[in-house]
Amino acid sequence: MHYRQLPAALTPLADKFYRAQRSPMRTAPGAQVWVAEQTAIVAALCLQPVAHAHWLTSLLVATPQRGQGLARQLIDAAQASCHTPLWLFCHPQLSAFYQRMGFAAADDLPQVLAERLARYQRSKPLLAFTR
């Protein structure tokens, strides 16, 4: 397995992966896009810079590769490169998944993320985590 950050010109490959997995996820302009590849992309995530850290969005592992630790390895590779804390929002049913990867509940979010979380929580239950 190979983990790497995609150059900006290749980020459409991650969007193609998300579409192939029938996911509504998409890359965001200005985000770091990281992928796990065998012969093709089998996992992807985005890191958006925010408040001297990064916000983890759009994490997806292809169904056949789930349960093999790819999400953790991809997150580890991305975080090692950026050397900053990571923040994320997730549905309550994913709490244990992220806690197993070393994330902890975040009570003190940067203002920009706290405002975004409050907006999102108007329509869906989300929790904030950091690592």
pLDDT at 2: 97
From first to last of its 131 residues, the chain has per-residue pLDDT tens of: 999 999 999 999 999 999 999 999 999 999 999 999 999 999 999 999 998 999 999 999 999 999 999 999 999 999 999 989 999 999 999 999 999 999 999 989 999 999 999 999 999 999 999 99
Q: Tell me which residue has tokens 């108007």.
A: 122
> 3-state class of 40 per DSSP?
coil
CA angle 59, 56, 38 (to 5 degrees): 40
The pTM (predicted TM-score) of the whole model is 0.92
